[in-house]
Structure formats: structure tokens, C-alpha cells
């Protein structure tokens, strides 16, 4: 019972029996199909759409084009509302666009009785474009016509630059800090120091949750109901109300079971359009079920980035660090620059040096829109930084772990951006445990001795620091309501969403722990409905057990109090004399059982004189952050002649504070490890340079790992106690993906002497580098 | 719902050929793992599919009177993998089958469909090319035997007439009895892969195992159709089998293939791995010959 | 055109009218209410729609409904009709092999197929067997563990 136990997921039964209902399973019979017409150019303008013939096509109910929708610029980012307009998400898109900014942009919608009817009608549309060449990389984009001229003058729409000197933020703004960095070179660097400069490239990748983004909307009276696969139901509600021009009190959003998300469903997809259309169609139900092909192009991606790193070091000491991060935003801003900001602040945290200077920019291009995906910019920077560390170690002639130990962040570290303090710190243990489990010392020495043939082995590692939620920079708010049920159990209502990560079970554990109710009698309501679900920012930033968990804990404590007060009233005693135990309410002295919780609930609810439902509700507003740490160690074998990497073993060691549910936590780490492996080796979104069309938007050509690809994986925890977490816990959802790719990259470096500074490390690139380095002969 | 005219099920082979003969817009449906994907993509508008996968005339895995291995075109890759006869006579084909798609795909995908859709990446093609397999074809006008090496005419194109049905694949006894074989599929993942490149080798050594008496080297995805390295084969017959010779053969094979560059992989990269794959296939095939002519 | 299709679904004989152009997924979901059959790609690349056809997993999204005539279909709804969970379902719960749950029905059926074979399998064989079912949450480890606990051999 309660926390720290391998409690079985509360939704496991519903899911193994196929009874768990996802969005598409709830679609009313006879719903109309919303079918998006996508542009066949990536950059330009729709000049005209002749719908006459298409409208007459069989089964077509309505066609709306980009010329028909209201001009309401909005953002699709699933962030809480910002009372300060300066920090609001960038409103840069419409429901349908005549200004086309990516191949497959949404230019019209056909509402029909079936997808087949809509497809037939689409062929009858006559569309003319004024098209320009697509601009697919940031360097070109900064010099070409602005893609969002009505919002920004240029495509480099945001910068976040800073200078940190001895852990103090000395300069911050949008102007380049490169001058500061050069000044440091001439004035502040000791004699004999060396500079190492490297460039890294990360391509866009996709979350590939198995359930595509799906939603539908209908009206009952004046009320619009939107059923959607989302991480952020309350935010969806707010944006839908705004864009569909409907009072927010008359919009409600239902989030049933969600088939995976990883950040992608923290953005809205077609919910506003579905709501707008149902209004246009007298409340008839309209659904939008993205196909897999659309999901790649029309939902969100992980940002492609180019990262330039420089470090100045002397011996084992890193004296100064400089980063330039060029973030490819794609067509629309979505989460905007916050991803680059998250990444670059993490850059500052991990190896605090005398000087840390960084420039970042986010740039619009004609690619699919990048936004939140597990790790929020940090997988990219961790790949660059951790690769850089191994290269630096070689230059300095030192062991890469020694170098890290010498320069890494320590407990008690004070965040230079916001003063938040690192209060729990298990990084050194994550390193030592990982070293031991992978057999680091032996393999680092032994492997190179046999690495002369085509098969070569190597071990490598990487590490990370990761925040928990968005505080103190942004609002962290979670509300919770807990109701004592008639059988003496509890029902927990939260607005933070279960996506597969296991948060509902963790909340039930926290409530059970506080209320001392047997675990099986505590249930977190799995389906959110914004009409009845307490407010929560939603599921993102690995925040739920930290922020929502606090709301659950404090609400459970309030309910305890109410239960005791009800018992005191009934038994004519003082609240202070009573306590809650696993069997019910007892007297503190003597331990006499006064009543079970069921008794209390029944008597309270059905008391003729003074009926009261025993429930509690509260909001947690969290202002603190907590840093999680972890390492990944990889043992790999490379077939040099074939350019193939096979992974023998991955070891991941995490400090996520106290682990609320060890079994679910381990499963989360395994999943992240494999996602990281895909990022390292096989996953990339490829685009036709001529048209901007994505080549591989299907699950055969976009290669997420299969069960046949996974190595032995070991997940371990170093449990620390985070004083600001409800039970000593801190983030875990995203971190497992962070250090895998650089660990594999560094193992490759160990095995072959070749460092690949680009992901994915695909055979073609390996072969090219092996040939260049003379490891194999050129054959063509 | 697929955007097609419909699907009918052929009651027998004769009727299938008649239907095809009469209907220019009809296409055969075997396992459907490729054609139904094309249907969903809207590429088969107006097409009527004729299901032939389960026709009894297309089933069966047998040794014929001459001792050739005959595999019904409607046999699924699962059946091949499960067939004792194929496992015994042609284990390389089993290994090729095991690398195709996934369990669910192999359960419905047929060897006939794999060949007839004309894909240059067909997992079954390389080894069948290397062993000079023959295709038994029934048409409205009669039956004929087509060497598999004459089937492919370009990506997605075959030399079969519209009203012809591939009924079986015949692998000559002479090859099965005297050759060792190997297949190497290069893919990015260990499952759910279209070959980046495929290579098969079949070798017959002299009695003492010293020299190459006969050999064949075939590639898929190395040209617009699967192909054999005919000139190389002619050049190295009779040479002493050795590691250095196999490397030389692999190098020579590169002069005969012309893999294209696509977003999936560059031609240059395919050439690079082709060399190594040819070398490893030849080595393994020679090893298999020594272990008792394992094809 | 509509065709009459006779099939057995989860032990019950059913007669349905299926459009020739319809895949088995849609018939099972829309006509028979078997919502455990999920759609993840509709082209046989993810395995979310997998069902047992005569005891073997196939991707129902690329299987024409009219070809199911005369066959026996099992979905996860058919595994625990008497109230008790199938051992594979139990193992999935026990080993935390479930996260978002979207690939779960197909994965469970892949396990059931192995379970029903009466044979034992190495981890590699299990991995190969479920490789056509993509899962993005678990990293597969717990799923393999769950199936291995029932049919595994070293």
C-alpha cells in the first residue's frame, strides 16, 4: 500500500482486456468525417480554390477553405495562460492557411459522410498556388523572406543569450554574446590553455506514439463537447473557446485514455477546427483522425538543431564554455523558443565553469512544426555536450569520467537564472554504479586490445541534469479533489493526464499513503472532463508526481482532517484526540477503533440532520524546482565493413529522488532507453530538398526500434530525498531518453576512434567516416 | 475503405485467368501486403482485385518426379518457414523468408506475390536468381516456363502477361544437390525492413573442395531489377577458392551492379556494402557446400 | 458491393454484410463493437490491429473482411469471457508490460499465440515473434519478460 511499492497500474486490467476506451472508440455512429486538404507546395500562397465541383460530390456536407475561416491568430502550445502578455505563446497560425509554410499545410477541410467521399471530392478541387522554393535550413531561412511577416520581421524570431561568470548571470538578452566570449579569450584565459571547437547536427524526429492525434466535437444545446487525445485538456478548452469563438463556460473537453504522446499531444491538433465546424453544422459530430502519414507532417516534431560548442581548458579544468544553438522551428512557432531556452539553460547547469556564454536562436523554416517532445530540447544539447566531453578528454589526454567528475555540477548548486537550489544530488553515485554495472574499467582497457578487425567493441557513457516542471520561471499549478467513497475508499480527481507513464497510479499511491486506505480502494479518475475535473496545467515537463503529486498529498491531508472532524463530531470528542489508521478512526490514547472509514462516510453522507459529503479540494502552486540526474552506459559492437552498430548492453542509472513506484519507474526507463536508441541509430525525418515533402512519413521508412532490435537493458536508481517533492521525488518521465545517444556515440568513439557528431549515426555516415579515416577501403 | 472497385474471390485457376482475360482493370490479390497498401494510397482507383492466394492450384510444396523442388506461388512465407521440405532442401530460402517483414506479414504474404509485384527488393528473389529457379506460369493461352531471371523488367514491372498467373516456383535438383548457398539482407532494423541491398551466392566446389567449379552471385536493389553478376561468374570459374579470391570476386561484382541513389541510401553506400556482402555470402556459401551442399 | 461473410468471432458464429472494400479492422470495430482492435498505421506496419485468425496473428488492417469468410477470429475481448483473465493478460499486468495500452491488445494476442502453441521459446525467438508490433512506451523489455515468464526457455 502507498508509496515506494510496486503497485500494479490501476488501468492495466482495462488495457489488457481491450476495454479501455480511447478517442476513436468513443466516436458516435454517424459522425461526419473532417478531412484536411493539405498543400502540395511547401512555401507560397494559395491563390484560389474552386470548390464547386467538389461540393456537388457525393457525400460531401461542407467544404471550408482557407479563405472562409475567421482570422484568429492563435498558438497551439499547451501551456498555461500567461497573465503577462510578454510571456504568452506566439499566436502565429490560423485554422486553415492561405499562406502556406510547409508541405502539407492545412489549406481546406472537406466534411463528408466518409473518408472515401472526402477523398473523391478532394480530387475535384481546383487549387492554384503562387509557390516559392522551400527553405529547409536555418542558415538560408534567416536571409529569406519572413514566413510570418505579420508577426515578425525575420525568420529568426527569437533569441536568448547570456553570459555567466563564476555562476552569476552577468549579461542576458537578445544581442549576441559572441563578443563577450572573444573578450574572455583575450583577457581572461590563462597561458597554456587550449580551445576545442566542434559542431553537432541533430535532425528532426517524431514522437511516434502508436495512437495518432485524434479528436471529435459535437454540441448538446449550446455546449460544445470536444473529445480528444491530449496531455492538456484545460488548455485545449481555453484555446478552443478562443478560436471557435464560443464562451469557455460552454466548451468542455474530455480526455479519455491516450495511446502515448511524449509531448506531441501537448499541442492542439484539429480541436479548434472540429469545434468550429460542429458549430457551423448545427452541432453534428465532426471527427478528425490523423492518419500515420499526416501525424508525421501535421503534428509536431523534435527540433532539428545545429549546435556549435567551444571549450577552453587547461589540464583537467574547463575554464570557459561557449555554445551557439540554432534551432529549426519549422513552419509555426508552437512552443516557440522555450525549447531552445530549456536546452541552453541545461547547458549551463551541467558543467559550471568560470565562464559560460551562450547564444541561441529559433528560426522558422518550411518544415513541419517542431514542438515539445520528451526532453524538450535537452536530448539535443546533451548529445552535443556529452560528445564534446569525450572529445575534450581525448585532447586533454585524460579519462572521460575523470574529466566529468572534475568539472560537473555539485549538490547545492544555485541556478544562475532563478536562484533555485539543487537540494538533492545523486550524480556521483549514478556514475559509480553505472561504471560498476557495465564493467567500465576492465572494458575500457581490454576492448582496444582486440579492436583491429572488422568487429570492434567499445564502451561509452554520458550523463545529464534535468529539471522538474517549469517553476519558478513559469506557473506550476495543479488542483485536486478527493472524495471519500461510501465503502471507505477514495476517488482522486486530477487534471494532470495519464498518457501511459503511470501518473494515475502514482497519485492513487500518494492518496492511499496519506489516507491510510488500502491501495485497491483508491482510484484516480482516468478520464478528464474539464466540466468536472479540477484545473491542472496538464502532463508535461515530467512534473506530475512533483506538482500534481503535491496537490494530491495536501488534498489528502485536508480530507484526513475532515474525516477526523466528522468522527469527532459524531463521537463527541476532540479532533486532536483522534487519528486515522489502516483500520479506521481510532483514539490516540488506548487505540480503540471508533469507526471504519466506511462507517464515517455513510454516517456523514446520510445523516438526516447534517449530511455532508466528505471531500476535499485544493490547489498546489509550486515555486520550486528539483534537478534529476542520471547516466547511461553503452557497450557496443561495430561491424566496421558494414557500418553497423549493435548494442550489447545499456545501463541507465537515475537519481529521481524517492521512487514512488519502482516497477512503473523501471518500465519508464526501459522505454526511454529504447527511444534514445532510435534517436541514436535509426530515426530521422527526411525531406525532399526540392519540394519540402517528407519522404519517409510511415512506420516502415521511419524506423523506430522493434522488439527484435533491443539489447539487454538495465535500469537502476540511486534514491536521494528531494525536500521539495511531496515524498522526496523528482522528475523521471523524460530523463531516460537523454543520455542514450551520446553514450552510444562515445562507445563508438572508444571502439573505432571515430566520433560522429550527427544523429542518427546511420550506416551511411559511419561508412563515410570509416573510409575517410582509413579504417576501411573505398569500394566505389 | 479502400478506393477500389471491389474484391472478388476466384473459385479456381481457370476462372481466374478468364476473369483477367476479360477485365483489363483487374489485378491479382495474393497476400495483399503490398497491393492493399497501394489501394489505401489511392493508387488502384477503378481496379477490381481478384483474390487468388488460396487457390488450391497455387498451393503445395513438393519434390517433383525429376527431384526439383516445386513451391506453389500461393504459399505464404510462414508456410515456407514451417516446411520440412524447404528447410531440408533450401534452408537459405527459409532464412530469407524469416527476414521478411514481420510474423503477421509472413503469415499472409506469398512467395508468388513477392515476385509478381516486381519489387527490386523482393526478399525471395536473390536466392531464386542465384539458383536459376524457373517459374511455372499459366495463361489464358496456355502454360509456359519462365526463368526467374527473365521475370523482372524494371521497378514494379514483370514480363508476365495480364492474363497470366504464376502458379509455382521450381528450383532445379541439380542446384539443390550440388551447391552451397547463402543470402545476406542488409537492413537498418532486425525486423520490418525493406532490404537496402540483398545478396545471394551459390557455389559448387571441385570434389576436393579446392576450386570453384561453378558459382552464381545475385543482388537485389543493386539495379532496376534483381540481377546476376554474369561476367564475374564467367571470369572466376575454376579458380582456387580462397579468401583473397572471394574478395577479388566481390570487387569484380561491383563492376556489374549499378545501385541507384535514393533518399533511402546512396548508390555509393550500396556499392560499399555490396562488396562486403558479396564477400561474406561467397564465404558462407562455400562453407555450406563443405557442410554437405546446403542450399 | 456488400457480401455476406460468415465467421466465428470470439467463439460466436456471426453473419455480417461486409463491403468488399472494407478491411477486417473496420468490420470488427464498427459492426461487432470490438474496439480493442486499434488503428495505428492502416498498412501493416505497427501491429496495433492484430487479431488471431485461426489461431495466428495477422494484421487486420490489410486483410479484406470478405476473405475472413469461414475463419475464426479472436480478439482480446474473447480471452476472458468467463471472468478470469487469460494467463498472458495476467502476466502483462504482473510484469508492468502495459503503459499507454494502445499496442497492448495486439501484443497480448501475439503472446497468446505462443502460449497456445504449447512450445517454449528463447528470448530472441519471442523478440522476433513480436517484432511486428510496435510499442513506443515500454521499450519492449517488460513485454518480453511477461511472455517469457509463460513460454520461455533459456
Residue A780 pLDDT greater than 90, yes or no: no
Closest CA relative to residue A548, chosen from A725, A732, A419, A363:
A725
Closest CA relative to residue A292, chosen from A240, A214, A385:
A214
Cell numbers at residue A371, please? Answer: 514542438
Model confidence pLDDT, tens digit, residues A473-527: 899 999 999 999 999 999 999 999 999 999 999 999 999 999 999 999 999 999 9
Q: What's the pLDDT score for residue A1?
A: 67
Q: What's the pLDDT score for residue B141?
A: 86
Q: What's the pLDDT score for residue A118?
A: 98
Q: What's the pLDDT score for residue C81?
A: 74
Q: What's the pLDDT score for residue A573?
A: 94
Beta-ladder partners of A769: none
Model confidence pLDDT, tens digit, residues A110-142: 999 999 999 999 999 999 999 999 999 999 999
Beta-ladder partners of C121: C152
Percent of chain B with pLDDT over 90: 98
Q: What's the pLDDT score for residue B293?
A: 80
Q: What's the pLDDT score for residue C83?
A: 83
- The ipTM (two decimal places) reads 0.98
Cell numbers at residue C38, please? Answer: 486499434
Q: Does B248 reach chain A within 8 Å, measured CB to CB?
A: no
Average confidence (pLDDT) over A615-644: 98
C-beta of residue B270 within 8 angstroms of C-beta of residue B241 = no
- Beta-carbon contacts below 8 Å between A and B: 68
Q: What's the pLDDT score for residue A190?
A: 87
Residue C154 pLDDT greater than 90, yes or no: no
User: Which one of C1, C30, C59 would you mutate to disrupt binding with B, by most B Cβ within 10 Å of its Cβ?
Assistant: C59
Average pLDDT for chain B: 97
Cell numbers at residue B70, please? Answer: 516445386
C-beta of residue A580 within 8 angstroms of C-beta of residue A563 = yes
Taking each helix axis as running N to C, give the angle between helix A271-280 and helix A233-243, from 0 to 180 degrees, rounded to the nearest 10.
50
Percent of chain B with pLDDT over 70: 100
Beta-ladder partners of A288: A215
Read off the DSSP letter of residue A366: S
Q: What's the pLDDT score for residue A218?
A: 98
Q: Does C148 reach chain A within 8 Å, measured CB to CB?
A: no
With cell 484560389, the residue in question is A48
CB–CB contact A706 C132 (8 Å): yes
Model confidence pLDDT, tens digit, residues C21-77: 999 999 999 999 999 999 999 999 999 999 999 999 999 999 999 999 999 999 999
Q: Does C75 reach chain A within 8 Å, measured CB to CB?
A: yes
Task: Please give the C-alpha separations between residue B221 and each of A231, B37, B39, C45, in angstroms, as whole numbers.
Answer: 43, 20, 24, 21
Sheet holding A584-587, edge to edge: A578-581, A584-587, A593-595
Q: Which chains touch A (3 or more CB pairs under 8 A)?
A: B, C
User: Looking at chain C from residue 9 to 38, which residues have their Cβ under 8 Å from any Cβ of chain B?
Assistant: 19-23, 26
Q: Does A711 reach chain B within 8 Å, measured CB to CB?
A: no
d(CA A600, CA A498): 31
Q: What's the pLDDT score for residue C58?
A: 98
Q: How many CB atoms lie within 10 A of CB C1?
A: 12
Residue B282 pLDDT greater than 70, yes or no: yes
Measure in Å the smallest separation between the Cα of A117 and chain C Cα atoms: 13
Average confidence (pLDDT) over B281-295: 93
Cell numbers at residue C95, please? Answer: 510484469
Q: Does C62 reach chain A within 8 Å, measured CB to CB?
A: no
Cell numbers at residue A629, please? Answer: 540526474
Model confidence pLDDT, tens digit, residues A262-272: 999 999 999 99
d(CA B89, CA A130): 62
Report residue A610: phi and psi, to 5°.
-150, 50
pLDDT band at A614 (very low <50, low <70, confident <90, very high): very high
Q: Does B105 reach chain A within 8 Å, measured CB to CB?
A: no
Label residue A36 left, alpha or beta by phi (over 0 means left) and psi (-120 to 50 means alpha).
beta
Q: How many CB atoms lie within 10 A of CB A128?
A: 11
C-beta of residue A35 within 8 angstroms of C-beta of residue A115 = yes
Residue B294 pLDDT greater than 90, yes or no: no
Cis peptide preceding C42, ω within 30 of 0: no
Does pTM surpass 0.95? yes
Cell numbers at residue A563, please? Answer: 474525516
d(CA A456, CA A450): 7
Q: Of C21, C45, C104, which is closest to A16 when you measure between CB atoms?
A: C104
Beta-ladder partners of A557: none
Backbone CA torsion sign across A56, A57, A59, A62: negative
Q: Of B1, B49, B108, which is closest to C58 when you measure between CB atoms?
A: B108
pLDDT band at A457 (very low <50, low <70, confident <90, very high): very high
pLDDT band at A315 (very low <50, low <70, confident <90, very high): very high
Amino acid at each position: 500500500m502507498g508509496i515506494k511499492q510496486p503497485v500494479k497500474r490501476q488501468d492495466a486490467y482495462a488495457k489488457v482486456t481491450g476495454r479501455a476506451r480511447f478517442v476513436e472508440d468513443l466516436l458516435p455512429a454517424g459522425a461526419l468525417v473532417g478531412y484536411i486538404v493539405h498543400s502540395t507546395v511547401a512555401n507560397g500562397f494559395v491563390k484560389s480554390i474552386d470548390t464547386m465541383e467538389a461540393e456537388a460530390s457525393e457525400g460531401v456536407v461542407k467544404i471550408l477553405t482557407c479563405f472562409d475561416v475567421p482570422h484568429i491568430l492563435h498558438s497551439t502550445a499547451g501551456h498555461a495562460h500567461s497573465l503577462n502578455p510578454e510571456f504568452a505563446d506566439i499566436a502565429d497560425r490560423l485554422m486553415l492557411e492561405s499562406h502556406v509554410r510547409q508541405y502539407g499545410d492545412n489549406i481546406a477541410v472537406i466534411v463528408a459522410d466518409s473518408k472515401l467521399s472526402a477523398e473523391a471530392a478532394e480530387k475535384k478541387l481546383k487549387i492554384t498556388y503562387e509557390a516559392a522554393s522551400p527553405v529547409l535550413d536555418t542558415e538560408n531561412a534567416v536571409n529569406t523572406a519572413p514566413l510570418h511577416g505579420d508577426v515578425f520581421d525575420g525568420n529568426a524570431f527569437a533569441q536568448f543569450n547570456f553570459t555567466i561568470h563564476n555562476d552569476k548571470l552577468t549579461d542576458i538578452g537578445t544581442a549576441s554574446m559572441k563578443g563577450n566570449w572573444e573578450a574572455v579569450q583575450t583577457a581572461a584565459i590563462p597561458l597554456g590553455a587550449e580551445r576545442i571547437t566542434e559542431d553537432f547536427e541533430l535532425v528532426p524526429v517524431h514522437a511516434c506514439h502508436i495512437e495518432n492525434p485524434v479528436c471529435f466535437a459535437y454540441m448538446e444545446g449550446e455546449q460544445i463537447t470536444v473529445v480528444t487525445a491530449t496531455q492538456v485538456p484545460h488548455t485545449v478548452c481555453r484555446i478552443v473557446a478562443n478560436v471557435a469563438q464560443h464562451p469557455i463556460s460552454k466548451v468542455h473537453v474530455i480526455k479519455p485514455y491516450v495511446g502515448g504522446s511524449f509531448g506531441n499531444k501537448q499541442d492542439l491538433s484539429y480541436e479548434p477546427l472540429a469545434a468550429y465546424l460542429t458549430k457551423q453544422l448545427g452541432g453534428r459530430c465532426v471527427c478528425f483522425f490523423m492518419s500515420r502519414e499526416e501525424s508525421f507532417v501535421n503534428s509536431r516534431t523534435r527540433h532539428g538543431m545545429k549546435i556549435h560548442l567551444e571549450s577552453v581548458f587547461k589540464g583537467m579544468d574547463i575554464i570557459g564554455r561557449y555554445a551557439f544553438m540554432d534551432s529549426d522551428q519549422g513552419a509555426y512557432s508552437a512552443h516557440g523558443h522555450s525549447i531552445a531556452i530549456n536546452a541552453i539553460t541545461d547547458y549551463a547547469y551541467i558543467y559550471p565553469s568560470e565562464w559560460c556564454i551562450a547564444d541561441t536562436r529559433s528560426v522558422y523554416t518550411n518544415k513541419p512544426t517542431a514542438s515539445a517532445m520528451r526532453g524538450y530540447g535537452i536530448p539535443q544539447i546533451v548529445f552535443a555536450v556529452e560528445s564534446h566531453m569525450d572529445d575534450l578528454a581525448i585532447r586533454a589526454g585524460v579519462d572521460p569520467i575523470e574529466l566529468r567528475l572534475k568539472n560537473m555540477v555539485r549538490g547545492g548548486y544555485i541556478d544562475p537564472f532563478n536562484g533555485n537550489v539543487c537540494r538533492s544530488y545523486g550524480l556521483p553515485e549514478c556514475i559509480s554504479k553505472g561504471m560498476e554495472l557495465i564493467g567500465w574499467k576492465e572494458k575500457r582497457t581490454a576492448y582496444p586490445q582486440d579492436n583491429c578487425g572488422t568487429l570492434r567493441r567499445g564502451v561509452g557513457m554520458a550523463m545529464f541534469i534535468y529539471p522538474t516542471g517549469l517553476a519558478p520561471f513559469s506557473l506550476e499549478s495543479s488542483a485536486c479533489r478527493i472524495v471519500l467513497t461510501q465503502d471507505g475508499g477514495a476517488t482522486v480527481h486530477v487534471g494532470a493526464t495519464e498518457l501511459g507513464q503511470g501518473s494515475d497510479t502514482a497519485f492513487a499511491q500518494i492518496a492511499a499513503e496519506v489516507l491510510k486506505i488500502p491501495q485497491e480502494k483508491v482510484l484516480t479518475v482516468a478520464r478528464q472532463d474539464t466540466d468536472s475535473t479540477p484545473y491542472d496545467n496538464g502532463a508535461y515537463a515530467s512534473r506530475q508526481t512533483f506538482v500534481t503529486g503535491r496537490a494530491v498529498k495536501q488534498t489528502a491531508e485536508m480530507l484526513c482532517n475532515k474525516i477526523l472532524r466528522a468522527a469527532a463530531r459524531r463521537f463527541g470528542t476532540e479532533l486532536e484526540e483522534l487519528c486515522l489508521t489502516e483500520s479506521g478512526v481510532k483514539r490516540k490514547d488506548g487505540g480503540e477503533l471508533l469507526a471504519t472509514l466506511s462507517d464515517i462516510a455513510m454516517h456523514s453522507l446520510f445523516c438526516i440532520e447534517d449530511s455532508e459529503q466528505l471531500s476535499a479540494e485544493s490547489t498546489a502552486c509550486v515555486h520550486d524546482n528539483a534537478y534529476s540526474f542520471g547516466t547511461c552506459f553503452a557497450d557496443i559492437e561495430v561491424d566496421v565493413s558494414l557500418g553497423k552498430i549493435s548494442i550489447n548492453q545499456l545501463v541507465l542509472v537515475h537519481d529521481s529522488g524517492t521512487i514512488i513506484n519502482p516497477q512503473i519507474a523501471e518500465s519508464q526507463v526501459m522505454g526511454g532507453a529504447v527511444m534514445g536508441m532510435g534517436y541514436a541509430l535509426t530515426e530521422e525525418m527526411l525531406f525532399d530538398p526540392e519540394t519540402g515533402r517528407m519522404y519517409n512519413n510511415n512506420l516502415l521508412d521511419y524506423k523506430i526500434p522493434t522488439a527484435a532490435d533491443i539489447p539487454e537493458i538495465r535500469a537502476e536508481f540511486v534514491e536521494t530525498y528531494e525536500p521539495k517533492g511531496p515524498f522526496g521525488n523528482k522528475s523521471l518521465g523524460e530523463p531516460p531518453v537523454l543520455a542514450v545517444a551520446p553514450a552510444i556515440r562515445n562507445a563508438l568513439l572508444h571502439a573505432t576512434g571515430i566520433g560522429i557528431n550527427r544523429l542518427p549515426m546511420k550506416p551511411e555516415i559511419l561508412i563515410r567516416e570509416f573510409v575517410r579515416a582509413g579504417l576501411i577501403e573505398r569500394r566505389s | 475503405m479502400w478506393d477500389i472497385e471491389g474484391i472478388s474471390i476466384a473459385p479456381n485457376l481457370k476462372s481466374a485467368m478468364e476473369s483477367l482475360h476479360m477485365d483489363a482493370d483487374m489485378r491479382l490479390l495474393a497476400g495483399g501486403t503490398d497491393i492493399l497498401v497501394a489501394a489505401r494510397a489511392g493508387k488502384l482507383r477503378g481496379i477490381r482485385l481478384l483474390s487468388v492466394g488460396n487457390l488450391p492450384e497455387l498451393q503445395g510444396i513438393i519434390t517433383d518426379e525429376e527431384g526439383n523442388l516445386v513451391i506453389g506461388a500461393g504459399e505464404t512465407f510462414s508456410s515456407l518457414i514451417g516446411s520440412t521440405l524447404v528447410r531440408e532442401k533450401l534452408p537459405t530460402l527459409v532464412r530469407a523468408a524469416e527476414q521478411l517483414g514481420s510474423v503477421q506479414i509472413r503469415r499472409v504474404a506469398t512467395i508468388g506475390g513477392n515476385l509478381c509485384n516486381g519489387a527490386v527488393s523482393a526478399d525471395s528473389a536473390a536466392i531464386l536468381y542465384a539458383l536459376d529457379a524457373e517459374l511455372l506460369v499459366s495463361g489464358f493461352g496456355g502454360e509456359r516456363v519462365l526463368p526467374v531471371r527473365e521475370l523482372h523488367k524494371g521497378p514494379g514491372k514483370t514480363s508476365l502477361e495480364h492474363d497470366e498467373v504464376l502458379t509455382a516456383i521450381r528450383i532445379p535438383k541439380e542446384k539443390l544437390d550440388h551447391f552451397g548457398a547463402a543470402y545476406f539482407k542488409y537492413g537498418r532494423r532486425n525486423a520490418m525492413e525493406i532490404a537496402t541491398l540483398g545478396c545471394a551466392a551459390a557455389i559448387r566446389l571441385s570434389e576436393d573442395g579446392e576450386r570453384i567449379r561453378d558459382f552464381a552471385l545475385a543482388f537485389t536493389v543493386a539495379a532496376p531489377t534483381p540481377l546476376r553478376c554474369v561476367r564475374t561468374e564467367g571470369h572466376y570459374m575454376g579458380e582456387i577458392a580462397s579468401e583473397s579470391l572471394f574478395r577479388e570476386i566481390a570487387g569484380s561484382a561491383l563492376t556489374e551492379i549499378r545501385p541507384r541513389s535514393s533518399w533511402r541510401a546512396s548508390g555509393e553506400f550500396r556499392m560499399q556494402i555490396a562488396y562486403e556482402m558479396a564477400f561474406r555470402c561467397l564465404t558462407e556459401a562455400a562453407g555450406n557446400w563443405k557442410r554437405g551442399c546446403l542450399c | 458491393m456488400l457480401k455476406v461473410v460468415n465467421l466465428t468471432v470470439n467463439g460466436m458464429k456471426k453473419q455480417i454484410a461486409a463491403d468488399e472494400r472494407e478491411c477486417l479492422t473496420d468490420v470488427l470495430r464498427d459492426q461487432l463493437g470490438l474496439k480493442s482492435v486499434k488503428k495505428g498505421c492502416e498498412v501493416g506496419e505497427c501491429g496495433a490491429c492484430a487479431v488471431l485468425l485461426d489461431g495466428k496473428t495477422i494484421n487486420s488492417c490489410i486483410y479484406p473482411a470478405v476473405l475472413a469468410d469461414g475463419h475464426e477470429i479472436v480478439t482480446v475481448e474473447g480471452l476472458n469471457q468467463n471472468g478470469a483473465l487469460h494467463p498472458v493478460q495476467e502476466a502483462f499486468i504482473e510484469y508492468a508490460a502495459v503503459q499507454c495500452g494502445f499496442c497492448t491488445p495486439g501484443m497480448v494476442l501475439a503472446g497468446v499465440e505462443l502460449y497456445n502453441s504449447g512450445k517454449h521459446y528463447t528470448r530472441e525467438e519471442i523478440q522476433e515473434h513480436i517484432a511486428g508490433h510496435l510499442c513506443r512506451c515500454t521499450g519492449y523489455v517488460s513485454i518480453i519478460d511477461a511472455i517469457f515468464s509463460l513460454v520461455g526457455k533459456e
